[in-house]
Homo-oligomer: A and B are copies of this chain.
């Protein structure tokens, strides 16, 4: 069926049946800026909500070249072989600024994309930063309703990306390689403070020994950090997506993580906090849009801006005047 002929019931049924083609169409609906699409997608979300939440939401971050895609390809395929259903989403909050996705084309995960139990979705493009968040969060929910029990949210660890991903996943892992250089240290520390585990990838061949040493260094450092997840101490591990060594251990650690946070109640607590924070930030995003897109505000703003920069009006007074104008406009609607 074409997207335009699908009803809400068609979407919900298709998603619940794990139909990847309908799932993909539903995500496209969520990503649309059309207001009818928005209403429809919200209706779909409402109906599938009771079937969401039953997945491991795993964030994967790391600098470019850390081997994220190669790892996900191998790990995801092994999980599919174990009978798990794996969805891979990419989030690229910087793309709206750099005007191009830094995550590139997800279709390069060729083996994984051929798995019947896998679903790969590239980064949502265009739209505001907040829009990207909403779309990724809602896409996670759709995937869960479609039966995917393992969701990978991949991002490039530059700037604030890992902070964003941290707000939507249960477990965050950082991938790294040996000899990434001292210059990267700064970037890494910010990431490491948010991570539940560190994976030193490409631990094979002549690089294996170095990878083990790098792992030890990370462990020393991780030991000093305050845990980001209650009851869980982050550790580093090595693995190779080529030989497969270390991959079963990664899976064991992830399973242990979920046992711990399930038992101590932190999984539910974190998800509830994430949802509340999402609600709060969505409200602020909508208010900001409503304010700065208001026609009268848009007309008045440049004048007041020039007054405050010319030091003829205090900023707080300009704020007062603009809010008064905005509230006056709201009353007219």
Interface residues in chain A, defined as those with a beta carbon under 8 Å from any beta carbon in chain B: 38, 42, 45-46, 49-50, 52-53, 134, 137-138, 182-183, 185-190, 221, 224, 271-272, 275-276, 278-279, 282-284, 286-288, 290-291, 304-305, 308-309, 311-319, 322-323, 327, 330-331, 333
Nearest-CB residue, chain B, relative to A304: B279
CB–CB B278/A315 < 8 A = yes
Q: How many copies does the complex hold?
A: 2
CA distance A331 to B326 in the complex (A): 11
Interface CB pairs A-B, < 8 A, 22: A42-B314, A42-B317, A46-B317, A49-B313, A49-B314, A134-B315, A185-B189, A186-B190, A275-B305, A275-B315, A276-B309, A282-B319, A283-B291, A283-B322, A284-B284, A284-B287, A287-B287, A287-B288, A327-B330, A327-B333, A330-B331, A331-B333
Point out which of A183, A314, A317 has the most chain B C-beta atoms below 10 A from its C-beta. Answer: A314
CB–CB B186/A186 < 8 A = yes
CB–CB B314/A45 < 8 A = yes
* SS of A interface (majority): helix
Point out which of A53, A271, A319, A327 has the most chain B C-beta atoms below 10 A from its C-beta. Answer: A319
Q: Which residues of B contact A331 (CB under 8 A)?
A: 330-331, 333
Q: Which residues of B contact A312 (CB under 8 A)?
A: 49-50
CA distance A135 to B121 in the complex (A): 46
Given contacts A45-B316, A314-B42, A331-B330, contact A275 B186 (CB under 8 A): no
Point out which of A45, A279, A290 has the most chain B C-beta atoms below 10 A from its C-beta. Answer: A279
In the A-B complex, the 3 residue pairs with the smallest Cβ-Cβ separation, listed nearest first, are A186-B189, A45-B314, A272-B309
Query: Which residue of B137, B291, B311, B318 is within 8 Å of A50 (Cβ)?
Result: B311
Query: Which residue of B182, B275, B311 is within 8 Å of A49 (Cβ)?
Result: B311
CB–CB A316/B275 < 8 A = no
Q: How close is A314's CB to chain B, nearest CB, in angstroms?
A: 4
CA distance A319 to B45 in the complex (A): 14
CB–CB A282/B316 < 8 A = yes
Query: Which residue of B46, B52, B137, B185 is within 8 Å of A313 (Cβ)?
Result: B46
CB–CB A309/B189 < 8 A = no
Given contacts A316-B42, A327-B333, A331-B330, contact A52 B288 (CB under 8 A): no
CA distance A72 to B143 in the complex (A): 57
Q: How close is A203's CB to chain B, nearest CB, in angstroms?
A: 23
CA distance A287 to B323 in the complex (A): 8
CA distance A186 to B190 in the complex (A): 7
Q: Which residues of B contact A279 (CB under 8 A)?
A: 304-305, 308, 315, 318-319
Q: How close is A287's CB to chain B, nearest CB, in angstroms?
A: 5
Q: How close is A322's CB to chain B, nearest CB, in angstroms?
A: 6
Q: How close is A175's CB to chain B, nearest CB, in angstroms?
A: 18
Q: Which residues of B contact A287 (CB under 8 A)?
A: 284, 287-288, 291, 323
Given contacts A187-B189, A312-B49, A327-B333, contact A305 B276 (CB under 8 A): yes
